[in-house]
Structure 1
Amino acid sequence: MLNYHSIGVEPGNTYVLHPDMLARQMDYLAAHHYTPLTLGDFARIIEKKQPSPERPVLLTFDDGYANNAEVAMPILQRHGFPATLFLSPGFIGQPGYLSWPQVKELSAAGWDIAPHSMTHPHLPQLSIEQQREEITESRRRIEQALGRSADVFAYPFGEYNEDTLKILKNEAFRYAFTTKEGDASPNQSPYELSRIVVLGEDDFATWVQKLSNFGKKELKVPT
């Protein structure tokens, strides 16, 4: 499961990936017969309701940068790839971030929109009440804007504690993604799923190596 952030040109910021590199990576996935999944596909495979393709991959983008719609979406559309945006609605309309019309455009193009907290705080530094507000309000805003369920979460900074896990369970979230390096697996807790973080400083060969090291030929569900 690949984790992207901003797609643009910002030397020195490891969480900004050059558009040409994203295009090259998507070309590689297409040429090597990877199948990008929707969140629904991912859940159905994990829950044994749908067989896994040979080379599944979930393309995730965190935070809600405007360039996800302006730059990343057209690159993915060349191959008909879906993706998942983990959105912090508190950033909507701020310079460099998505507007609600852009979020709706991504949704219409086949992107899943899921919560990433309201303001991207360090959740373990908050009280359980503050955490609950950050998590549930981000979900409510997305569901209200798009009219569909948003019950999968990604932790800001990849950080969480026992209170966070308790909130997700009590609020009936189905899954949550970390930034722990690795590929998501049915053997992991549904609230502690790993991802392969894509860094702007990595060259193409390093990205391919990460994909080869962590990528599974199938999402194998234990019997």
Structure 2
Amino acid sequence: MIGMSLLVRLALLLPPNVPQIPVLCYHQIRDWRPKDRTADKAYIMPPATFRLHMKMLADSGYHAILPDELYAHLTKGTPLPSKPVMLTFDDTDGDQYSIARPEMAKYGFKGVYFIVFNNINKNKYYMSRAQIRQLSDEGHVIACHTLTHPNIRKLKGSDWAAELDVPARKLELLTGKPVRYFAYPFGIWDQQILPELSRYGYLAAFQLDEPRDSAKPLLTVRRVIDDGRWDTSTLDRYLKHGFGHK
């Protein structure tokens, strides 16, 4: 990736009270199994629930935005559509392609797919290269979720290039498009990774439900998991009241 422009460096200094745009995170989209723990069900969205949530978003007038739109809004004040929301998918699970993709297409929604590169073609449960290329061609954003999904707090030295730069380059070759956005494995971030993300030219990075970094909120954009146990009224309530100046 090329080095950051002055605009990017200045944008990373946005004040922490910049209003947040709702960003939802999804992992597995499948029916619950008897062995699934109660806590795991937050991360596992039954397909029927996913369909209801997408319909609720559409019926309520939400517009799915993509990272370039969010970045332009936060750095330049570019207007967003009414009731914006971002739909993001982690880990390269195949059901995100086979179930989420056609359901979003019903409403003209596009999403952000954070890819763990070594999960591609790993087994029948993960996406193939052809599927990822198709997502990109259809207007979804392909972004980086590292090479192997490590705990970033354990990385050092050459690990940074291996996990941040190598997979981005590989994804760029696969899709023919730049990779400018990143999601932290497990949603975990700390201060040591922020300079590394800047070094490799990422415009923004997405965590989970923690306060943003006061100095670099664009590298700690907050997401919440669309809980597989939520009904549509709970999701609606969280979208309206769960994204304050945190």
**Common fold, TM-score beyond 0.5?**
yes
Equivalent residue letter for 1:107: S
Gaps of 5+ in 2: 1-22
- Cα distance in 1 for partners of 2:30, 2:233 equals 20
Residues 56 and 232 in structure 2, CA contact (< 8 A), matched pair in contact too: no
Q: How far 1:181 sits from its partner (Å)?
A: 5.0
Q: How far 1:26 sits from its partner (Å)?
A: 0.9
- Cα distance in 1 for partners of 2:108, 2:130 equals 21
Q: How far 1:49 sits from its partner (Å)?
A: 5.4
Residues 128 and 163 in structure 1, CA contact (< 8 A), matched pair in contact too: no
- What does the per-residue CA deviation read over 1:172-194, in whole Å, with 9 as the maximum and x for residues that have no partner? 21000001258x8x996111110
Matched, 1:208 2:236: yes
Q: 1:136 — aligned with what? A: 165
Q: 1:7 — aligned with what? A: 29
- Cα distance in 2 for partners of 1:188, 1:32 equals 32
* Mapping of residues 118-137 of structure 1, within 5 Å: 118-137=147-166
Q: How far 1:44 sits from its partner (Å)?
A: 1.6
- Cα distance in 1 for partners of 2:164, 2:47 equals 31
1:107 to 127, 136, 161: 136
Change over 3 Å in CA distance of 1:33–1:125 after alignment to 2: same
Structure with the higher fraction of residues in strand conformation? 1
Change over 3 Å in CA distance of 1:123–1:49 after alignment to 2: same
1:94 to 122, 140, 161: 122
1:38 to 66, 70, 94: 66
- What does the per-residue CA deviation read over 1:153-210, in whole Å, with 9 as the maximum and x for residues that have no partner? 100011122221111111121000001258x8x9961111101211223333332222
Residues 196 and 210 in structure 1, CA contact (< 8 A), matched pair in contact too: no
Identity of aligned residues (%): 28
Residues 62 and 85 in structure 1, CA contact (< 8 A), matched pair in contact too: yes
Equivalent residue letter for 1:20: A
Gaps of 5+ in 1: 217-223
Q: How far 1:109 sits from its partner (Å)?
A: 1.9
What RMSD in Å do the two structures reach over aligned CA positions?
Answer: 2.2
Q: How far 1:132 sits from its partner (Å)?
A: 2.8
Q: 2:219 — aligned with what? A: 191
- Cα distance in 2 for partners of 1:210, 1:131 equals 35
* Mapping of residues 136-175 of structure 1, within 5 Å: 136-175=165-204
- Cα distance in 2 for partners of 1:18, 1:122 equals 27
Which 10-residue stretch deviates more, 88-97 or 207-216? 207-216
- Cα distance in 1 for partners of 2:122, 2:232 equals 32
- Cα distance in 2 for partners of 1:60, 1:172 equals 20
- Cα distance in 2 for partners of 1:28, 1:169 equals 37
SS in 2 for 1:140: helix
Q: 2:45 — aligned with what? A: 17
- What does the per-residue CA deviation read over 1:58-77, in whole Å, with 9 as the maximum and x for residues that have no partner? 11001111111111000000
Residues 120 and 127 in structure 2, CA contact (< 8 A), matched pair in contact too: yes
Q: Which has the higher contact order (CA 8 A, sep 6+)?
A: 2
Equivalent residue letter for 1:150: V
- What does the per-residue CA deviation read over 1:105-128, in whole Å, with 9 as the maximum and x for residues that have no partner? 111222100000011110101214
Equivalent residue letter for 2:68: G
Residues 181 and 197 in structure 1, CA contact (< 8 A), matched pair in contact too: no
